[in-house]
A and B are shown apart, each in its own frame.
Chain A
Amino acid sequence: MKNQLLLKNAGTMLVRVLFAVVAAFPIVFMLVSSLKPDQQIFGDMSSLAAFLPVGNISFDNYGAVFDRVPAARFLLNSVGVSAVTVILGIFVNSLCAFALSRMQVRGKKIVFTAILATLIVPFQTLALPLVWWVNQLPYFELNGFSLEFSKGWLDTYQVQIIPFIANAFSIYLFHQYFESIPKELDEAARIDGAGWFKIYRQVVMPLAGPATATVAILTFLPAWNSYLWPLMVVQSEELRPVMIGIQYFFQLNVSWGEVMAYASLITVPVVVLFIAFQRSFVNSIASSGVKG
């Protein structure tokens, strides 16, 4: 019996490793290639050498990246834009999902359906009218003590953030997760005199760790990867995000090694973030019983 279990576990582990190999090879290729000169990347491509750090290995490509792209500035921009989008996104979307899932708001069915309908609109088809539209929006800034109004959001940070805060997918995800949290908890809290916001804050959200982590990761990714939108609305180099930086390497002669080095550089923060957030998949309501 025990042997059988052991065998079973070994089998499961084998499957896990198999999946891991399939999932990891492009990253390995990217990291390895970032250490090679261009010509060798292509020379190695048709053999397993593509995945091995062999031949003429150096960090030259990394040095060259910084000569070509203001990489530090771009990283900073992307970190800022993504972080703000994620934080505001979690708050705004979970609040909306909370009301839709747990409160008796009149007309919420229609609202929810309308929100879900926005999932269907692919961003590519929205982009052009949106560019025109954000350029019509008012914009204000605090200048000393006076509030100054002007028109047009082009070439700013907020144009990279605000349109992406509310997200139907996040609302949906929170909503589905909230549905699995027992509603008696709300009732109990209400009897104790808690208001809805307090229930949201102190009852429901603390239990929604996995959903919050999921939304955080899934909001971060498109924000970090955003390419088409900043391309269209951001003209100043000092406001550009990391993905635009990739284009810097596609000259008439493409510097593939540098592409790989830059791609490696901008992948690291995402992986770090993922490792940080995936812990909350463990610290959740249910995991205690699943151990072993």
Chain B
Amino acid sequence: MATAHLPTRPRVPAAAEAAIPPSNIRGNARRRPGFRRDQLTGWGMIAPAAVLLLAFIFIPAILGFGLAFTNARLISPRPVEFVGVDNFARLFTDPTFYRALLNVAYFTVVIVPVQSGLALVMALLINKKFRGVNFFRTVYFLPVVTSMVVVSLLWLFMYRKDGLVNEILSAVSFGLIDGPDWLGDPNTAMPAIIILSIWQAAGFHMIIWLAGLQGISGELYEAAQLDGTSRWQQFRYVTWPGLFHTRSLVLVTITIQALGLFDQISVMTQGGPMDSTTTIIYEAVQSGYRQQETSYASAISLVFFVLVLIVSAVQRYLTREKD
């Protein structure tokens, strides 16, 4: 293959990218003779993914959203009728829905900074090459691959009044702290879910951070080391700016995952005690499957979609690349 002249290990610092204004290339693009062919190639490359997403997400989502304006049931002999915004009217007068919104907001506000921060710390801890790095990487990733059934069984026990968590708390505090029944108390149920969630998902985002860290040129670190910078300075002036793209990726995905909280709730608390852990998606699944009110569940989903869209837009605006 005629690629010998291509640099297989480019050492171009990421910062150099900005030095050559990409607009030069873009400016010429339209006038280039191959413009049309490029368009075709480009669309050809986008097409497989785009068609699949269209077929398996957009179309069913639109079908689902359409149901929100009907009275469709999961199983029913009654004809499906258009009912306008009835489902939404019912949703907006349902106190459980507002409780779910509040819970999800609480969860997200805590999870996003804490989990992404911890995941970054974990990634930094195992980014360098040292003896046993593979072992640590694997172990840090274990919670992500552990079956939810096992996780829930174990944590349900640990969170009991006489469970391991409280025993540790009591031992550490020399008997001063008498822990609560974590999942049975409306005040502690959500914090308990938060801890469990961070424990389980931090490894997932650690992987994304790790990929980002690997994208930062080693030369920058070498240069920084020559300048005799401290570890903190290296992080502040090399690592952190180098993670710009990864940051937005992690932020967006953690936020969306947090807002869609469901699995842990479904196996650990079923929304209780007293709705203190119910979430929007949990309510949607509960109505759509268990209570067979498909159209109402669709309405919840549609509202959820719009909410996340707004949150994401705001987030993107706040973290946009400032010139």
Contact = CB atoms under 8 A, between A and B. Distances in A.
Asked if A and B form a direct contact in the complex, defined as CB atoms under 8 angstroms apart, the reply is: yes
14 contacts: A29-B154, A99-B41, A108-B46, A125-B281, A128-B289, A132-B63, A163-B56, A166-B53, A214-B208, A259-B149, A263-B150, A282-B129, A285-B215, A286-B215
B142 A23 contact: yes
Contact of A202 (B6, B51, B219, B297): B6
Main secondary structure of the interface of A (DSSP, over half): helix
A184 B246 CA distance: 21
A250 to B, nearest CB: 9
Nearest to A99: B45
Contacts of B147: 30, 225, 243, 246, 263, 266-267
Interface string B138-153: 1111111111111101
A122 B260 contact: yes
Nearest to B163: A46
Contacts, number: 310
B91 interface: no
Q: Which of A46, A176, A179, A211 has the most CB of B within 10 A?
A: A176
A239 interface: no
A177 B167 CA distance: 45
A254 B167 CA distance: 27
Contacts of A103: 38, 41-42, 45
B42 A290 contact: no
Interface of A: 12, 15-16, 19-20, 22-24, 26-27, 29-30, 45-46, 50, 92-93, 95-96, 98-100, 103-106, 108, 111, 115-122, 124-126, 128-130, 132-133, 162-166, 168-169, 171-173, 176-177, 179-185, 187-189, 192, 195-197, 200, 202-203, 206-207, 209-211, 213-214, 217-218, 221, 225, 243, 246, 256, 259-260, 263, 266-267, 270-271, 274-275, 278-279, 281-282, 284-292
Contacts of B208: 173, 214, 218
Contacts of B122: 19
